């Protein structure tokens, strides 16, 4: 049975986050030094070798992404850390930033060196003012020590829009425009912030980097599920005994997460479902709990890893009611740019409300399935594509909940 | 071009690398439905109707923003694609009033077209619908956002075509709304009513108010024609239903403007149905006009003109032709004046605007027109150097293009005493004092020469008289120039270096340069600067006078000038004269005729006894009009051919009713030397076209003038004019070419002076500073400058009910400093007096003008600006100095 393994949370509780000396005493910024001595190409190769895949949810190979930006010719490149941690039930990035901000800065600085950028941004969730304060102090300390060299980092605050966690909406927001996603391609590593090559990585991804550089890509690639190696931080909420966080290797199963680390269901009740990855995550039934918490393994069961939010529901929960609330959330958070999301999230909420109130029929369920299907493959960005997942997966795995409410 | 092989719907086709799937499909003859895609606007990828299936992609990508790649396999109508499209349409119509039967867009609505195609009759998504109030508070556009599908075309058109940025999105998600700042009605917003938003809207959300309820879209006959207002040469379609013009529709094939228009072009056409239009000839009897038959009018005219000619000689007659009228009409008027009346006393309103350009550029380069073309603003130029030109108001579509260029990285320098829109947006704005253009330009040349930035090869190979230029420029040190112009030394250096070192620097100017006592010298000074830096004879450079009237270029080209026949052939050249005499069968005068100001002086002195004026209104538009009124009163006989009983027509003995641009066939030549067709859309209101009237009048005088169609008039002109010999009506149907075009197989000449100037070597014409003829003094302490505003054209728009309902009066710009001294606020009444006259006007307090300066337009007869403007004229071209005179202003507390 898997054990917890702390890579990104390696300094959690061990250092004073506002004292850079503590971070340095743990070997901090040695990796940056090493990276600079390796040269850009070798560095990127090693990150590729680690097979580290983005921890923001899309699971793209990190070293590959960097190589696109590195090979692009431009007078200016940017590194952006996506710290707009808006996914309900998720606080892994906050843990890292509050407890070990320098590991994030070091990871960004290594990336900046790798691609040839000298300006970085941390786009931090607006509801985290204390984190912004910590980050600014940490940046000042790193600069005062001369550790960042010519790399400058600026913290930008989000303003509460969920969609700004989508990398191109985030870029628009930094540019001062409405936070709305762009169509892709072009992808940010080719044309991102102010149309310059830009790497956008999640906090957790960057926090992995110093360790990978320090111990080598091969070491990292050996941890957990080979297709999605390393660890992943999960934050457990809902009807689970241990409502807390765990960093586990990616070959851990959902069952272990819920029952071993989570300590099982509260009040001696039975497990009903778990939603992993945040609001847009799939609802997973008991029968699929032996899936590993790795990107492709999750995809294979029609689920995602997302942010690692793990929302556990016991046998008493009504999934139609839960999905209705989620549909309302997406109606509220749709930016409105593309037609299927703007109109679709609103209609999805209307239909779910109707069903939840006992006024719906099987025709409405069928319409929801069609709408969800169309949204999932025709919306402009991940928000609209993922928004129907809770509805579609509850219809699929928990039809009894729906049938109970049909007219 | 690199091509890639792709498979669309099972068919292998080639597509240019980098093109989108949608474009590739179009090339393969496959139409993919789209709502937000518009080839003239930036891609948005938001309606998602254009999604397609691509092998290997788990999503359905939007074809409008997805590039093709080698081996790409695409299905444009697969089951999942069709399901997505139908569902998106169902979602859109769930929030759409399905009142298609009364919708003004019915027949041209893309949403309806696609619902039809995919059989979407109703939406299964019943639920909340938006209920927005309809914005019809303005005279031009009905804005029904209930029908908006949020494709964002209007937002992008406003930003990208016009650059007004008046529209954006409000709210998020389902409540997203494309609207004005503060969600106010158009009329209360910064909207300039160019109507580009209407032109691009795919549904009934934005429609032309004038057409509401008058015609289904398929009943509209579209007649492509050329705009009758400024000289840009925009084309559009007149929308005609049952022999009546009901509106203007953009025509994407318009060569100069595409779908862009300005408020005048799109909405100013309604003057043609103004109730004040003249429909029958008028003869003044005992001081009062009485309706008369055409025969009575012609008989009287023939008798009187003949009498004057016999009694006082040919030179006692003078004619004014018009930059508003077609080339063919202008050609006939000058032919009549020369061949029938026997005098070269023919001129037109180019005299009061761009005569200095014709004279100045002829001196410097050998021909007096724009050296380059408008499309180079966006396609070629790296720097736009504007001096004395306010494009976004006077030539809006040119101004919009300049703004587009600037937003795409082209540098913009504006020299203007007044803070125009583009001055405010420019990289560098030089706010020179009024009437100090020559020292400013000499100062720039001084710096360029001092720093060795001049184009030595160009100067050596292509020009003459450089040493004199250099000697004169040496006197204009930056410090000295700064003192005269008020421009800082630092800015002089910045602009001089930027202009000299930018490879493609394009100079534009207009009446701020020409309407000065030194207008022609101002023009030549710009030419000097361009030659000094080699900015001539290539794409993206040149000296470009933008002309203010629809056919001012053409009226000059046609020889409605006292010194030249059509094609700028001198009347004093014997061979040319003989060529014309042979074709026209008449003995022609060999003496250069009178210019407009000279005509009125001669009338004053009793030397001019009779006049004929076609389509001009000098009493509103010429300077020092009290003098002109006295001159007209002294005439023995005066004929005006006009649309309306204008201020000038009131003085006539006979008024002939004229036909508007919508009622005549013919051509206008735009500011780029590009003749374009004007097409008859409706029957002439007076019963006949202007060319017919002129022919009948002249025939009655004993000179048979007869053509079957204006194309025959053009053909006669072309046969006499080598520079236009290659252009015919037939050719204009197929392509749009720029003269010089000497033969039918010649491609035309977009760029002048390539390799060689028209005059051979370009001539530097050094000019000293000449201060304005009249400057403020103790008695008249304020400087008055005049010009045009965006909503109005010099004349005619005052007869447009729509435009007049938005902007119906003069608002004189007064600097807050003067306003405070006199206790004036915006809306106050103010008396403006000069040594020549006075008027009472309305005040607009604004710092667009400098302290000590007021600025007036000349559009409204209630505030006849030109009763106070200067009597000084350019000594070479005879153009009035409209831009500077001395006035005093007083606060008038008027009751009521």
Q: Can you give the residue ranges of every domain in chain B?
A: 3-77, 125-273, 282-349+551-734, 355-370+381-545, 782-895
pLDDT at B428: 98
pLDDT at B620: 84
Tokens of A83: 């710290």
Taking CB atoms and an 8 Å cutoff, what residues of chain A touch B47? Answer: 338-339
What's the CA gap between A379 and B88, in Å, rounded?
10
Q: Is residue A308 part of a domain?
A: yes
Phi-psi map region of A149: left, alpha, beta (phi>0 left; psi -120 to 50 alpha): left
Residues A269, A366 within the same domain: no
Element (H, E) at B424: helix B421-425
φ, ψ of residue B230 to 5 degrees: the values are -70, -175
Say whether B47 and A338 touch across the interface (CB within 8 A). Answer: yes
In the block, tokens 């006499």 appear at B720
Model confidence over B311-335: pLDDT tens digits?
A: 999 999 999 999 999 999 999 999 9
Q: Which run of H or of E encompasses A355?
A: helix A339-356
Contacts of residues B580-587 at CB distance under 8 Å and 24 or more positions apart, as own/partner, are: B580/B338, B580/B339, B580/B720, B583/B716, B583/B719, B583/B720, B584/B335, B584/B338, B584/B339, B585/B339, B586/B338, B586/B339, B586/B340, B586/B342, B586/B703, B587/B342
Average pLDDT over residues B607-632: 92
For domain B355-370+381-545, say whether CATH 3.40.228.10 is its number. Answer: yes
Buried b (16+ CB within 10 A) or exposed e, A289-321: bebbbbbebbeebebbbbbbbbbbbbeebbbbe
Report the SS3 class of residue B690. helix
Distance CA B877, CA B883 (A): 15
Q: Are A283 and A272 in contact (CB under 8 A)?
A: no
A332/B150 Cβ within 8 A: no
Return d(Cα B426, Cα B414) in angstroms, integer: 6
Q: What is the pLDDT of residue B353?
A: 85
Q: For A203-250, write each residue's pLDDT tens digit.
A: 999 999 999 999 999 999 999 999 999 999 999 999 999 999 999 999
Is the pLDDT score of B535 beyond 70?
A: yes
Residue B565 CB burial class (10 angstroms; 0-12, 13-18, ≥19): buried
Query: With contacts defined as CB-CB under 8 Å, which chain A residues touch B67?
Result: 185
Q: Find chain A residues with C-beta within 8 A of B35's C-beta.
A: 339
Is the same domain home to A51 and A179? yes
Alpha helices in B159-232 (DSSP H): 196-200
Q: Is residue A3 domain-resident?
A: no
Domain boundary among A184, A206, A222: A222
Domain B3-77 identical in fold to domain B125-273: no
Strand-strand pairing, A78-83 and A198-202 = parallel
pLDDT tens column, B503-515: 999 999 999 999 9
| B537-594 pLDDT, tens digit each | 999 999 999 998 999 999 999 999 999 999 999 999 999 999 999 999 999 999 999 9
Q: What is the CATH number of domain B125-273?
A: 3.30.70.20
Residue B464 β-bridge partners: B763
Residue in B568, B567, B564 with CA at minimum distance from that of residue B589: B564
CA–chain centroid gap for A387, Å, is 15
Give the residue-averaged pLDDT of B709-732.
97
Q: In a mutagenesis test of the B interface, which of A178, A371, A378 is the best target, namely the one with the most B β-carbons within 10 Å? A: A378
Strands A245-249 and A231-238: antiparallel
Q: Is the pLDDT of residue A260 over 90?
A: yes
Domain B782-895 CATH assignment equals 2.40.40.20? yes
- A308 & A327 share domain: no
Cis amide bond preceding B740, omega within 30: yes
The Cα diameter of chain B in Å comes to 93
Say yes or no for a CB contact (<8 Å) between A380 and B171: no
Please say if the pLDDT value at position A101 is more than 60.
yes
At A78-100, the pLDDT tens digits run 999 999 999 999 999 999 999 99
Chain B partners within 8 Å of A333 (Cβ): 173
pLDDT of B896 over the 50 cut: no
b (16+ CB within 10 A) / e for A50-80 = bbbbbbbbbbeebbebbbebbebebeebbbb
Average pLDDT over residues A122-137: 97
Whether residue B699 contacts residue B706, with contact meaning beta carbons closer than 8 Å, is answered with yes
Give per-residue pLDDT as tens, B707-719. 999 999 999 999 9
CB B609 within 8 Å of CB B317: yes
Q: Strand B411-415's sheet: what is its strand order?
A: B428-430, B411-415, B383-387, B505-509, B543-545
Is the predicted pLDDT of residue B895 greater than 50, yes or no? no
Angle at B137 between CA B135 and CA B142, to 5 degrees: 50
At which of A314, A345, A363 does a domain end?
A: A314
Residue with token string 């109030």:
B133
Query: CA of B208 to nearest chain A CA: how many angstroms apart?
Result: 26
- CA dist., res. B434 & res. B440, Å (int): 11
Please count the residues of chain A: 407
Query: Are A55 and A193 found together in one domain?
Result: yes
pLDDT for A380 beyond 70 = yes
SS3 of residue B73 by DSSP = strand
pLDDT at B188 over 50: yes
Average pLDDT (A351-375) is 98
The minimal CB distance from A377 to the residues B47, B58, B94 is found for: B58
Percent of chain B with pLDDT over 90: 94
What is the structure's pLDDT at A179? 96
Residue B427, classified by CB atoms within 10 Å of its CB into exposed (0-12), middle (13-18) or buried (19+), is: middle
Examine residue A1 and state whether it is found in any structural domain, yes or no: no
The CATH class for the domain spanning B3-77 reads alpha beta
Q: B569 near B576, Cβ under 8 Å? A: yes
The pLDDT of residue B206 is: 98
What's the number of domains chain A is made of? Answer: 3
Tell me: the pLDDT tens digits for B282-305? 999 999 999 999 999 999 999 999
| Best of B48, B59, B60, B96 to mutate (most A CBs within 10 Å, chain A) | B48
Could you please report the per-residue DSSP string of A272-319? Answer: EEEEESSTTSPEE-GGGTT-BSSHHHHHHTT---TT-EEEEEETT--H
Give me the residues of B, 89-118, that contact A with CB < 8 A.
Answer: 91-92, 94-95
- pLDDT tens digits along B465-476: 999 999 999 999
Domain membership flag for residue A5 = no
* B413: β partners: B385, B428
- Residues from chain B that touch A343, judged by Cβ atoms under 8 A, are 88, 91-92, 94-95, 125, 174
Distances (CA, A) of A206 to A35, A52, A104, A137, A166: 14, 10, 5, 18, 17
Q: pLDDT per residue over B403-427, tens digit each?
A: 999 999 999 999 999 999 999 999 9
What does B26-47 look like in DSSP terms, one character per residue? HHTT-----SS--TTS-----S
Do A395 and A273 lie in one domain? The reply is: no
Residue A404 pLDDT class (50, 70, 90 cuts)? very high
Can you tell me the distance from the alpha carbon of B389 to that of B366, in angstroms, rounded to the nearest whole number? 23
pLDDT value of position B598: 95
- Predicted confidence at residue B351, as pLDDT, reads 87
> Quick check: helix, strand or coil at residue B376?
helix
Residues facing B347 on adjacent strands: B320
Indicate the angle between helix axes B437-450 and B489-501, nearest 10 degrees: 70
Whether residue A146 is found in the same domain as residue A59: yes
Last residue of a domain, one of A179, A194, A222: A222
Between B65, B84, B95, which is nearest A343 by CB? B95
Chain B residues in contact with A346 (beta carbon < 8 A):
127-128, 173-174
Q: Which residue, among B740, B744, B717, has the nearest Cα to B730 in the 3D structure?
A: B744
Quote the tokens at residue B227: 């705009």
Nearest-angstrom CA–CA distance, A37 and A29: 13
pLDDT digits 0-9 by tens, A159-169: 999 999 999 99
Whether residues B87 and A380 touch (CB distance < 8 A) is answered with no
pLDDT band at B352 (very low <50, low <70, confident <90, very high): confident
Same domain, A279 and A218: no
pLDDT of residue B625: 86
- Contacts B51 to A, Cβ<8 Å: 377-378
CA B5, B8, B11, B15 dihedral sign is negative
The answer for B430, left when phi > 0, alpha when psi is -120 to 50, beta otherwise, is beta
With 60 as the cut, is the pLDDT of residue B703 above it? Answer: yes
pLDDT grade for A1, boundaries at 50, 70 and 90: very low
User: What is the token pair recorded at A353?
Assistant: 């409300």
Question: Percent of chain B having pLDDT more than 70?
Answer: 100
Structure tokens at B128: 């909340």
Test mutation, A351, A374, A376, chain B, max B CBs within 10 A: A374
Residues A109 and A235 in one domain: no
Backbone angles phi, psi at B68, to 5 degrees: -75, 155
Q: Residue A240 sits in a domain of what CATH number?
A: 3.10.20.600
Q: What CATH number is attached to the domain comprising A108?
A: 3.40.50.11540
Mean pLDDT in chain A?
A: 97
Please check whether residue B326 is in contact with residue B690, taking contact to mean a CB–CB distance below 8 angstroms. yes
pLDDT digits (tens, 9 = 90+) for B226-235: 999 999 999 9
- The ipTM value here is 0.96
Mean per-residue pLDDT for A396-404?
Answer: 98
Based on the fold, state whether residues A55 and A188 are members of the same structural domain: yes
CA A273/CA A282 separation, integer angstroms:
10
Which of A334, A335, A336 is the best residue to mutate to test the B interface, defined by the most B CB atoms within 10 Å of its own CB? Answer: A336
Cβ separation of B125 and A367 shorter than 8 Å?
yes
Interchain pair A331, B176: CB under 8 A: no
pLDDT band at residue B791 using 50, 70 and 90 as cut-offs:
confident
Residue contacts between A and B (CB atoms, under 8 Å):
105
The three-point CA angle B429-B430-B434 to 5° equals 130
Q: What is the DSSP letter of A150?
A: T
Provide the residue range defining the domain that includes A381: 319-403
Mean per-residue pLDDT, A365-372: 98
pLDDT given for residue B807 in this prediction: 87
Q: Which of residues B353 and A171 earns the better pLDDT score?
A: A171
CATH code for the domain defined by B282-349+551-734: 3.40.50.740
**Domain co-membership, A274 together with A387:** no
Strand ranges for A3-149 from DSSP E: 78-83, 119-124
In this structure, the answer to whether residues A48 and A162 fall within a common structural domain is yes
Query: Both tokens of residue A335?
Result: 């930016």
Looking at residue B797, what is its pLDDT?
A: 85
């Amino acid at each position: 049975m898997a054990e917890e393994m702390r890579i990104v949370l390696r300094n959690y509780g061990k250092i004073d986050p506002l004292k850079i000396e503590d971070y340095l005493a743990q070997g901090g910024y040695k990796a940056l030094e090493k990276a600079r001595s390796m040269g850009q190409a070798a560095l990127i190769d090693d990150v590729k070798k680690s097979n580290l895949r983005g921890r923001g949810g899309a699971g793209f190979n990190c070293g590959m992404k960097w190589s696109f930006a590195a090979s692009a010719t431009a007078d200016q490149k940017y590194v952006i850390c996506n710290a707009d941690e808006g996914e309900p039930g998720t606080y892994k990035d906050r843990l890292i930033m509050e407890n070990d901000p320098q590991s994030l800065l070091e990871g960004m600085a290594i990336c900046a060196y790798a691609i040839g950028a000298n300006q970085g941004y941390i786009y931090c969730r607006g509801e985290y003012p204390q984190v912004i304060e910590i980050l600014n102090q940490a940046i000042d300390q790193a600069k005062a020590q001369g550790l960042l060299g010519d790399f400058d980092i600026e913290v930008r605050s989000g303003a509460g829009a969920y969609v700004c966690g989508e990398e191109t909406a985030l870029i628009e927001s930094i540019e001062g425009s409405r936070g709305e996603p762009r169509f892709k391609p072009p992808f940010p590593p080719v044309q991102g912030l102010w149309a310059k090559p830009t790497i956008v990585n999640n906090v957790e991804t960057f926090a992995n980097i110093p360790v990978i550089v320090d111990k080598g890509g091969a070491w990292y690639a050996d941890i957990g599920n080979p297709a999605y190696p390393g660890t992943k931080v999960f934050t457990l909420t809902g009807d689970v005994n241990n409502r807390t966080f765990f960093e586990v290797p990616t070959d851990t199963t959902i069952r272990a997460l819920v029952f071993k680390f989570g300590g099982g269901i509260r009040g001696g009740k039975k497990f009903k479902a778990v939603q992993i990855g945040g609001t847009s995550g799939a609802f997973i039934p008991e029968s699929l709990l032996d899936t590993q918490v790795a990107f492709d393994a999750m995809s294979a069961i029609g689920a995602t890893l997302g942010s690692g939010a793990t929302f556990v529901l016991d046998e008493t929960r009504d999934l139609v009611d839960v999905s209705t609330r989620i549909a309302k959330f997406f109606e509220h958070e749709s930016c409105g740019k593309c037609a299927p999301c703007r109109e679709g999230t609103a209609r999805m909420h209307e239909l779910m409300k109707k069903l939840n109130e006992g006024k719906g029929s099987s025709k409405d369920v069928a319409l929801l399935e069609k709408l969800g299907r169309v949204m999932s493959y025709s919306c402009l960005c991940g928000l609209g594509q993922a928004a129907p997942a809770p509805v579609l997966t509850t219809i699929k795995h928990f039809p009894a909940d729906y049938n109970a409410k049909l007219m | 071009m690199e091509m890639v092989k792709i498979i669309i719907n099972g068919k292998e086709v080639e597509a240019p690398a980098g093109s989108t799937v949608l474009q590739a499909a179009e090339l393969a003859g496959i139409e993919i439905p789209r709502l937000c895609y518009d080839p003239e606007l930036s891609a948005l990828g938001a309606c998602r109707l254009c999604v397609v299936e691509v092998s290997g992609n788990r999503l359905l990508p939007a074809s409008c923003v997805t590039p093709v790649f080698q081996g790409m396999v695409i299905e444009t109508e697969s089951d999942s694609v069709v399901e997505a499209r139908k569902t998106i349409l169902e979602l859109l119509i769930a929030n759409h009033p399905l009142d298609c039967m009364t919708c003004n867009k019915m027949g041209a609505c893309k949403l309806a077209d696609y619902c039809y195609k995919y059989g979407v009759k109703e939406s299964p998504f019943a639920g909340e619908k938006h209920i927005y109030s309809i914005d019809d508070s303005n005279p031009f556009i009905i804005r029904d956002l209930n029908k908006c599908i949020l494709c964002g075309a209007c937002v992008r058109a406003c930003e990208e075509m016009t650059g007004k940025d008046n529209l954006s999105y409000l709210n998020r998600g389902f409540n997203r709304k494309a609207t004005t700042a503060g969600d106010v009605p158009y009329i209360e917003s910064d909207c300039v009513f160019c109507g580009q938003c209407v032109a691009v809207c795919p549904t009934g959300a934005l429609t032309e108010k004038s057409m509401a309820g008058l015609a289904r879209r398929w009943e509209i006959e579209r007649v492509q024609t050329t705009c009758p207002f400024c000289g840009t040469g925009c084309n559009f379609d007149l929308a005609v239903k049952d022999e009546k013009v009901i509106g203007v529709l953009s025509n994407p094939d318009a060569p100069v403007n595409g779908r862009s228009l300005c408020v005048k072009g799109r909405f100013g056409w309604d003057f043609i149905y103004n109730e004040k239009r003249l429909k029958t000839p008028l003869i003044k009897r005992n001081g009062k006009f009485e309706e008369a038959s055409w025969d009575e009018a012609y008989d009287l005219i023939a008798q009187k003109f003949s009498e004057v000619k016999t009694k006082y000689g040919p030179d006692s007659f003078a004619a004014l032709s018009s930059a508003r009228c077609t080339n063919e009409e202008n050609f006939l008027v000058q032919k009549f004046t020369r061949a029938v009346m026997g005098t070269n006393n023919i001129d037109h309103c180019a005299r009061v605007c761009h005569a200095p350009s014709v004279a100045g550029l002829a001196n410097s380069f050998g021909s007096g027109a724009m050296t380059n073309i408008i499309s180079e603003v966006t396609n070629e130029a790296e720097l736009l150097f504007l001096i004395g030109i306010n494009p976004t108001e006077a030539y809006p579509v040119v101004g919009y293009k300049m703004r587009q260029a600037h937003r795409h990285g082209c540098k913009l320098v504006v020299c203007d005493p007044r803070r125009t829109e583009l001055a405010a947006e420019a990289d560098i704005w030089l706010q020179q004092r009024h009437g100090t253009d020559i020292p400013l330009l000499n100062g720039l040349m001084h710096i360029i020469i001092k720093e060795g930035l001049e184009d030595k090869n160009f100067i050596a190979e292509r020009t003459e008289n450089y040493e004199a230029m250099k000697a004169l420029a040496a006197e204009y040190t930056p410090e000295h120039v700064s003192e005269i112009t008020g421009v800082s030394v630092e800015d002089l250096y910045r602009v001089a270096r930027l202009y000299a070192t930018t490879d493609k620097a394009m100079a534009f100017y207009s009446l701020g340069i020409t309407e000065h006592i030194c207008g022609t010298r101002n023009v030549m000074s710009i030419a000097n600067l361009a030659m000094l830096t080699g900015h001539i004879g290539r794409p993206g450079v040149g000296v470009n006078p933008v002309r203010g009237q629809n056919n001012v270029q053409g009226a000059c080209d046609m020889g409605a000038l006292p010194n030249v026949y059509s094609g700028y052939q001198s009347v004093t050249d014997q061979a040319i004269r003989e060529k014309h005499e042979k074709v026209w069968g008449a003995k022609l005068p060999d003496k250069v005729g009178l210019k407009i100001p000279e005509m009125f002086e001669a009338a004053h002195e009793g030397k001019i006894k009779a006049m004929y004026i076609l389509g001009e209104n000098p009493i509103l538009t010429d300077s020092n009009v009290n003098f002109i009124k006295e001159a007209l009163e002294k005439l023995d006989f005066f004929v005006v051919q006009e649309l309306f009983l204008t201020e000038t027509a009131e003085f006539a003995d006979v008024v002939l009713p004229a036909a508007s641009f919508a009622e005549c066939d013919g051509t206008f030549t735009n500011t780029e030397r590009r003749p374009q067709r004007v097409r008859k859309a409706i029957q002439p209101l007076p019963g006949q076209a202007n060319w017919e009237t002129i022919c009948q009048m002249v025939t009655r005088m004993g000179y048979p003038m007869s053509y079957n169609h204006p194309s025959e008039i053009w053909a006669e002109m072309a046969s006499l004019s080598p520079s236009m010999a290659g252009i015919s009506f037939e050719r204009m149907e197929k392509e749009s070419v720029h003269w010089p075009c000497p033969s039918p197989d010649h491609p035309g000449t977009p760029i002048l002076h390539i390799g060689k100037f028209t005059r051979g070597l370009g001539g530097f014409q050094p000019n000293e500073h000449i201060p304005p003829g009249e400057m403020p003094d103790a008695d008249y302490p304020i400087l008055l400058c005049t010009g045009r505003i965006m909503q109005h054209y010099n004349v005619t728009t005052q007869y447009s009910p729509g435009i007049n309902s938005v902007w119906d009066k003069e608002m004189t710009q007064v600097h807050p400093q003067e306003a405070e001294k006199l206790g004036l606020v915006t809306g106050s009444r103010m008396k403006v007096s000069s040594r020549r006259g006075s008027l009472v006007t309305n005040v607009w307090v604004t710092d667009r003008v400098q302290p000590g300066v007021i600025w007036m337009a000349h559009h409204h007869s209630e505030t006849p600006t030109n009763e106070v403007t200067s009597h000084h004229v350019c000594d070479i071209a005879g153009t009035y100095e409209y831009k500077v005179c001395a006035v005093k202003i007083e606060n008038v507390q008027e009751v009521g």
